[in-house]
With several copies, the nearest count.
Chain A
């Protein structure tokens, strides 16, 4: 049976979005992307280095195979985020934007107020907006009402690999959301990605855990399977956990 991820009316087979930061070589990035099965990949913006203008890992990413999703990383307020989004569009990307507003460079946590403000502006300008947010159910609802195409609540701080430390709030967000919930940040292992999908998330975004793995290509494949496992389990109907034990074997009568 077909089970596509639909964002802004566009269908994707893969529910694993992949980030392209921190890869050691272009080759590793290229092969990891291939192994992940990802169709949506995030990218960032940076100044060209004048003394070495031609370098760009990005040549590894074929825009005909992947939907490039530029982020606004580095933006500290709505104004900077909007500026980055426009630049990204001018770079020839489709008008999709991963909206990040992180005033504190230490914890890299998102600003709820500036994020909502920027989202309202970018939606009006015709962007398909995917905002990176704290696991805040009320904020998620407000962003949906503002017209974002999805919400991207964090599982734990970016790059921390701690998994779903915000599980309770994610469950509420998923229960209430009318747009796809894409869990972003903090997913450090395939089990974390699977858990997010089992909760009912529509997709996950992974970068650091793949890029810094001993073998990034094998790890990309592992995450792919983890996401599929979690999604299929969600669809197959998981039973509820319970405190009490329950025999899986009949208690053998003849010993009595």
Chain B
């Protein structure tokens, strides 16, 4: 399926769960935050959160700022 992650189109064929997607992307959860279609996905629910074709997903983290 094709999903949009942080604004980039990505082809993903792994298991359709957010936790798997994160693994696929090589992102060890904290301190990241995942938004799926503008809704925040609590980290503890990444296993139960599906990933579907056309999803728009944002993965953000804290960085230096003023």
Contacts and interface: CB of A to CB of B under 8 A. Distances in A.
Q: Do A and B come from one complex?
A: yes
B8 to A, nearest CB: 7
A87 B35 contact: yes
A1 B32 CA distance: 42
Interface string B35-66: 10010101100000000000000111111111
A167 interface: no
Contacts of A43: 62-65
Contacts of A87: 33, 35, 40, 60
A46 B66 contact: no
A68 B6 contact: no
A44 B27 contact: no
Nearest to A208: B66
Contacts of B31: 56, 58, 91-92
A46 B33 contact: no
A50 B22 CA distance: 10
A90 B59 contact: no
9 closest cross-chain pairs (CB), A and B: A44-B65, A248-B66, A19-B66, A249-B65, A207-B66, A20-B64, A47-B6, A21-B66, A21-B64
A171 B58 CA distance: 39
Nearest to B26: A53
A57 interface: yes
B41 to A, nearest CB: 8
A105 interface: no
Interface of B: 5-8, 10, 25-28, 30-33, 35, 38, 40, 42-43, 58-66
A22 interface: yes
Most buried by A among B8, B38, B59: B59
A159 B66 CA distance: 10
Given A73-B65, A90-B40, 6 more contacts: A21-B65, A22-B64, A50-B5, A87-B60, A253-B7, A254-B6
Contact of B60 (A21, A23, A45): A45
A250 B6 contact: no
A91 B64 contact: no
Contacts of A50: 5-6, 8, 10, 25, 59
Which of A87, A88, A252 has the most chain B CB atoms closer than 10 A to its own CB? Answer: A87
A199 B61 CA distance: 37
B52 to A, nearest CB: 19
A207 B63 CA distance: 14
